[in-house]
Amino acid sequence: MERKRERQLIRIMGIWQILDGVLTIGIYGFYQQQIFSGMVESNLAQLNAIDALFGNVFLFVCTFGTLLIGLGLANLVISHRYVKDNQVNIKIGVYLLVQGLFSYLILDIISLALGMTAGIILLARNKGIKLNVQKS
């Protein structure tokens, strides 16, 4: 059985996650930093408190964006190297379902739909591949 559809879904999910991570770091992280740094120094204590809070938020946003980029790169590698035709892939299917659950927790609906769809199709085709192997 061909696994072209699963590879396509995993690639699309990987590209989306890389794009999402870059947008998260670029727009949310750096844009928010410019907003806080451009504030008028009316109250030095308040400005220092915002900078302290913002430094932590910026670090979190950059870490989160880097995590998304890493997941996207991992998905691209998985789709290219590990998802082969006529090969049973249980671990990759479970990985995609777990990644879909993670996407649900962070409210990334696009990755949720792509990950769950790819995982379910991959696991469903595993059964068909096993039956073809048993018949042969």
- Concatenating the DSSP letter of every residue in 22-54 gives HHIIIIIIIHHHHHHHTS--S-HHHHHHHHHHH
The domains of the chain are located at: 4-135
76-122 pLDDT per residue, tens? 999 999 999 888 989 999 999 999 999 999 999 999 999 999 999 99
Side chain identity at residue 113, one-letter code = A
Residues of the chain with pLDDT > 90, as a percent, come to 57
pLDDT at 34 over 80: no
pTM as predicted: 0.82
Q: What is the structure's pLDDT at 99?
A: 95
Q: Looking at this protein, which amino acid is placed at residue 48?
A: N
The confidence score (pLDDT) of residue 128 equals 86
Q: Residue 26 in 3-state DSSP? A: helix
Task: Return mean pLDDT, the chain.
Answer: 86
